[in-house]
Chains A and B, each alone.
Chain A
Amino acid sequence: MCKQNQEMEVTIVAYGIARDIIGTSELILKVDEGITVKDMLTLVKRKFPDFEKLTSLLLAVNEEYVEENHIVESGDELVLIPPVSGG
């Protein structure tokens, strides 16, 4: 039997330069269930190539930094974290 990948809709929130690059503070994407943070970032970079120019780009999941092989679940709070510059 061939198992079909289920899709889910995720909302990614963007701050700082990430918001400027996307042009809005919320990005809604349809992704495969079981997608990793790494693949999600690849998808975002493919859609908005200007992200490649940044020093770094992370995806926070539920207000935490996670490993790049972390699996994104439906309903997770996802936030793009461009290079921080507080202080």
Chain B
Amino acid sequence: MIEITEQRIESARLIEMVSDGGAGAIDVFIGTTRDNTKGKKVIKLEFESYAPMAIKELGKIVNRASNNWNILKYAISHRVGLVEIGEPAVVIAVSTPHRADAFDSCRFIIDELKKTVPIWKREFYEDGDIWVSAHP
């Protein structure tokens, strides 16, 4: 399952989705919104995405992960719109027969997501806002 959603992400729902009788491990990554960047107070965050392409790119990442590790089931949800501080912005759940594959594949998916998936984060401070990573 891959989704881009405006709703709050409930990680329990994703864990349930990847539950599998053949699994010996489920790994879950939850990326949450932090209240500071380089010492600056962040008051709110907003994500936007080019959703159809984001879903396609996430599918490609999962395919690459499946070539490297034995993934039984996966569930990926990325939030868009306004996200309050401390809430999940992304949740990735992976089930595998053994734990090493669960840890490694889950980490691979979040690392690659950050490189290629067309999603953009805007941080709002008390004195303005920036699109994260836009400038060197």
Q: Which residues of B contact A81 (CB under 8 A)?
A: 50, 118
Contact of B131 among A13, A20, A64 (CB under 8 A): A20
Interface contacts (Cβ under 8 Å), in number, total 79
A83 to B133, CA, bound (A): 6
- Considering only residues 1-47 of chain A, those with a C-beta below 8 Å from chain B are 13, 15-17, 20
Chain A contact residues, majority secondary structure = loop
Q: Which residues of B contact A87 (CB under 8 A)?
A: 31, 78, 89-90, 110, 113-114, 119
Q: Is the CB of B114 within 8 A of A15?
A: no
Q: Which B positions have Cβ atoms within 8 angstroms of A?
A: 31, 47-50, 52-54, 56, 78, 89-90, 110, 113-122, 131-136
Q: Which A positions have Cβ atoms within 8 angstroms of B?
A: 13, 15-17, 20, 53-55, 60, 63-65, 79, 81-87
| Known pairs A86-B89, A87-B119 / 6 extra A-B pairs, C-beta < 8 Å | A55-B136, A79-B50, A81-B50, A86-B117, A87-B31, A87-B78
